[in-house]
Amino acid sequence: GQQLNQSPQSMFIQEGEDVSMNCTSSSIFNTWLWYKQDPGEGPVLLIALYKAGELTSNGRLTAQFGITRKDSFLNISASIPSDVGIYFCAGRPEEYGNKLVFGAGTILRVKS
Amino acid sequence: NAGVMQNPRHLVRRRGQEARLRCSPMKGHSHVYWYRQLPEEGLKFMVYLQKENIIDESGMPKERFSAEFPKEGPSILRIQQVVRGDSAAYFCASSPRGPSITDTQYFGPGTRLTVL
């Protein structure tokens, strides 16, 4: 089925450290999106990836669309306290254009 | 530059009552999606609508749930005879284009439904 496995489930890191999280699937996806959700709010789009192999940056964030089209990773460099939140990957399955499938999220906690 | 608007932000209903959740898409967006999020889980797709049309409702429960996106006014997600298991956060997203690889969905702040 169209399931995304997102890992790690949670992270507790030191301020200033780099962070890495990823999503994998057994299905092929046409698009990978990374969102951040703060408590009580909706997901906010961080990075969108549309092409296999694509590497895109947004400030301290970098994400890549895996060559196999079945995975993606997100890196955050030099983490700061405001990076705290839940990060979700979302993919658009190959067989259906507009439905997004979400991972279960990575909870990021930063020690100041 | 208003984003996706949802109201109410919080809704409390007793079992058996009806819940109506509203979503106004971003200006210029004619595609609306509804998702449900249970605590500590990702968002689950429910339904995709364009103006006056339901395009894909494969994620909607077969009973008690309905959605519409009229020619004028917001999109409405309606839950009849709510049960405790309907308690969740319901998010609406909108996008400017139809199904395409580069289309991007922008999310509203959500409605948190609590069923007593």
- In what order do the strands lie in the sheet containing B5-7? B5-7, B19-24, B75-79, B65-68
- Residue spans of alpha helices (H) in A61-109: none
* DSSP class of B28: T
Interface residue A12 vs chain B (CB under 8 A): no
Mutate one of B104, B111, B112, B114 to test the A interface: name it (highest A CB count within 10 A): B104
- Taking the C-alpha atoms of residue B96 and residue B105, their distance in angstroms, rounded to an integer, is 8
- Residue A111 pLDDT grade (very low, low, confident, very high; cuts 50, 70, 90): confident
Q: Which residue has the higher pLDDT, A13 or B14?
A: B14
Q: What's the average pLDDT block by block, 10 residues per block, for chain B (116 residues)?
A: 89 98 94 92 92 91 95 95 96 83 85 97
pLDDT above 70 for A59:
yes
| Per-residue pLDDT at A112 | 67
- Arithmetic mean of pLDDT, A65-91: 94
Interface residue A4 vs chain B (CB under 8 A): yes
Q: Which residue has the higher pLDDT, A64 or A2?
A: A64
| Per-residue pLDDT at A6 | 95
- What percentage of chain A has pLDDT greater than the value 90? 73
**A105 closest CB neighbour out of B6, B42, B55:** B42
Residues B42, A35: C-beta atoms closer than 8 Å: no
Question: Taking CB atoms and an 8 Å cutoff, what residues of chain B touch A48?
Answer: 102, 104
- Arithmetic mean of pLDDT, A60-87: 95
Burial class (CB in 10 A: 0-12, 13-18, 19+), A108: buried
- Residue A98 pLDDT grade (very low, low, confident, very high; cuts 50, 70, 90): low
Interface residue A28 vs chain B (CB under 8 A): no
State whether residue A42 is helix, strand or coil.
Answer: coil
pLDDT tens digit sequence for A30-55: 889 999 999 889 999 999 999 999 99
pLDDT above 90 for A95:
no
pLDDT tens digit sequence for B3-33: 999 999 999 999 999 999 999 999 989 999 9
Contact of B16 with B115, CB cutoff 8 Å: no
pLDDT above 70 for A96:
no
| Per-residue pLDDT at A92 | 87
